[in-house]
Amino acid sequence: MLQAALAEAGYPERVLVACSGGPDSLALAAVAAYFARRGHVDGRPVAVGAVVVDHQLQAGSSDVAARTAEALRELGLDPVQIRTVDVASTGFGPEAAARDARHAALDAAAGEWGAGAVLLGHTLDDQAEQVLLGLARGSGTRSLAGMRPSRGKLLRPFLGLRRADTLDICRAEELDAWHDPSNADPAFARSRTRVEVMPVLEEKLGPGVAESLARTAAILQLDADYLEDVANSTYTSLVEHDGPDASLPEAALTELAPAIRFRVIAKAAAGVGGQQPSYQRLLAAEALLRRKGSAGPVELPGGVSVFRLSLAELQDRERARGQGGAEGVPREAARCGKLVFWLHKPSRK
């Protein structure tokens, strides 16, 4: 699996393994160390290092990081770095905040060493849990498509491997893996899914539930990629910029298939500096297309407002002010018949 992933990535000459010390990432490090000792993959030169990210979220985390780094050096990986990060509090939950901090540390480490790929130890079980959580939250195609085998420099070569297989690799290599207590903490939805929900599904529905969920993600990845490509090209062809603002023509939006229309509206919101809107907020913004006269604003995440203007209403308003009609408001008239997006406050980072 790792060999195929590196081939797909174009045989990067320098590779980093992201290792927490848990069985999944430690097993991945052991497999990567085999190629490090050989010095090549399919005859292409390769050097393999590792990064241990200490999130400082648990007592004794620095000791875990130090032991993990030592185990990685004994496997023959070089260089081995420990990156200590501060996990900032965000509105998206502790798991998302930790992931953002971890990815920033990995990106920095890869840049400093010139690594062409960073290996992550996510397994098929992780993928199944991701899809199940997306279903429970009522998420769309993008979320249900789960984690990608590759995204930029990030590679997940174990997505087709079960968690039990990584435990077997650690036993075979006599590696003492660290078991994160948070993985069994019922305070976290992912932990409850892993410890409580998945075993019940396997018991009631029979074996193979995890494989079926992972297969669903693989199928939806193809659909999500296609829809994303269509939405990108459609948005590029429709969007109009007026300084920091953006607008989309109502007539063209109305003619789009709903699956593309919602995505284009979301892209316009992101284009002016906002965040990904929820489905309910997208519904509210899209409903402006069916309103008569001027309508809105509808507030979207990240401080974005979206509204529409009616030319007739604008002319009436300006006549009442003694402006003489549309010729007094050329800039505003140019926005009529469009959804207008503007950022009224900086988006939260």
Q: What are the structural domains of the chain?
A: 2-219 (3.40.50.620), 239-343 (3.30.465)
Q: Check whether 347 has a pLDDT greater than 50.
A: no
- Looking at residue 87, its pLDDT comes to 84
Mean predicted confidence (pLDDT) in 323-349:
62
C-alpha separations of 84 from 60, 71, 79, 162 in Å: 13, 18, 16, 29
What's at 187, amino acid-wise?
Answer: A
Q: Is the dihedral of CA 276, 277, 282, 285 positive or negative?
A: negative
Stretch (H or E) spanning 151: strand 150-151
Cα–Cα dist 16/30, whole Å = 12
- Looking at residue 345, its pLDDT comes to 63
- Looking at residue 132, its pLDDT comes to 94
Cα–Cα dist 175/167, whole Å = 9
pLDDT tens readout for residues 305-334: 999 876 565 555 556 655 544 444 455 555
Q: What percent of the chain has pLDDT over 70?
A: 89
Cα–Cα dist 127/313, whole Å = 52
Burial grade of 229 (CB within 10 A; 0-12, 13-18, 19 or more) = exposed
pLDDT tens readout for residues 106-142: 999 999 999 999 999 999 999 999 999 999 988 888 8
- Looking at residue 1, its pLDDT comes to 86
- Looking at residue 12, its pLDDT comes to 96
Mean predicted confidence (pLDDT) in 130-155:
92
